[in-house]
A and B are shown apart, each in its own frame.
Chain A
Amino acid sequence: MNNETIPQVGPPKAVVEARGLDLTFQTKDSPIQALKDVSLTIEQGDFVSFIGPSGCGKTTFLRCIAALEQPTGGNLTVNGMTPDEARRSRAYGYVFQAAGLYPWRTIAKNIKLPLEIMGYSRADQEERVKKVLQLVDLEGFGGKFPWQLSGGMQQRASIARALAFDADILLMDEPFGALDEIVRDHLNEQLLKLWERTNKTIAFVTHSIPEAVYLSTRIVVMSPRPGRITDVIESPLPKERPLDIRDTPEFLEVAHRVREGLRAGHAYDD
């Protein structure tokens, strides 16, 4: 399958549609409303960041899209199907906070894991592994074991694994949160380049304001108790973004808006 940039034909397709989504967790003490009345549309080719303090529901929303959580109210479709149907049709790749690579498999075999499960042929698997290792700049490391790699490299391998099969959607839950800032910058750059080349739809959860503003076409600001959307910011920044763009006034303005959104949602209280 060809993953080069495809020229857009017709109106952008809605990939994820949420309307009035609710999710209440029943805990021992009292029910927690993780999501309240969340409505959002993510279009094909978008890079949407979710930002907010702990408990604002951003990870929960991502997990609902991935059919890892069940909403208790409202409507959610992925590629026009229910999230579970989308999951079964292997519509997305999920990247967790930790690399979660299997220590008993080499990097190459780790990337092959979803391919084995989904029934790709051996030859196909080899080809895809090679291609995807190149994409994340880990060529030559296929034969190493995860514990022989640094944290940043392991996370790159985890992203490679999510790219190996042809899912058009990438769901990323604070993938760079455990890494230091220098490695993070580097990986942010690489992720953007990857997005340009593959034109996937990416939903990205983060704690970092500069990261959210740098990476996304759209920033969704959320706040807790109950988890809800406070602001949706369309980024005016151009698609081509060198790291230096973070010092420009346009960037700072967007970051300021995000911060205001967080304040409005009481992110800095208590």
Chain B
Amino acid sequence: MKSVLAILTVVVALVGFWYAACVPMNIHEAAMQAQRAGEEVTPAEAPERRHMGRISLALKNTGLWSTVFSQERPQLPAPHQVAQEFWKTTWGMIERGRAFSKRSLILHGWITLSATLLGFAFGTALGIVLAVSIVHSRAMDMSVMPWIIASQTVPILAIAPMIVVVLAALSVDDIVAKGVISMYLSFFPVVVGMVKGLRSPDAMQMDQMKTWNATRAETLWKLRLPSSTPYLFASLKVGVAASLIGAVVAELSLSSNGGLGARLLAGSYYGQTVQIWSALFAAAALAAVLVWAIGVAQKVTLKRMGFAQ
């Protein structure tokens, strides 16, 4: 319970800092609007203000501070503005029966989520199969494993636009194209984690299997796979987050069919900052829910297997 208070304190502090940051970030726009409305601004003319630092301008115009929290196109939207937009495009849409309209974050979230889950499922399956083969074949281990470890240092996301375009040219469904990138990104943590996990039983346990004349398949099912469960869940958490990022970045190049990445891109083209922030929050919320869901599955599974404390 003590942690909850600590977490709340940090979150409140961050939100407070955010509100405070809105003042210098939005002050130039606020000054411009005030000037147009004929109000007092120090200094009064725009050219003079252009080269002023944000903080000094804010300090000179404390009267304008209250207006920075409700601008239409703020440089930095206030937390409540983001929350309002988020609400409007999610629950608000549901209430009006338009949950899946083009402006609804639920629709876009669903598009991104389906690509993420598709890629994640295949990436995990492929990762486990590859890990099993690496652990059982020295040739695979020595040929492939160094490349897999090395590839973790390569910025794979950079390939995303290319893969997406090539697959689109081959008339592959958008969701599959995005899924391929998600699959690629979630595959690596799963392979690395599962190899560690499949090799985690200690020498004593392996020797015991030998004394029982167990085949390699039996050892795999009865010893290696169960022992690797904690490692698997740790990799799944990393993998699902990577999957989501992959889907979002892929959508930057495939924006015509929606998705959170597409909303991000659209917002940045039309200068709709609040839209960008709410899309970002939707992605963050999605990531949080996915990681949390795996965490729950982890707790339940590990408890039943006697791993958890």
Do A and B touch directly, given a CB cutoff of 8 Å in the complex?
Answer: no
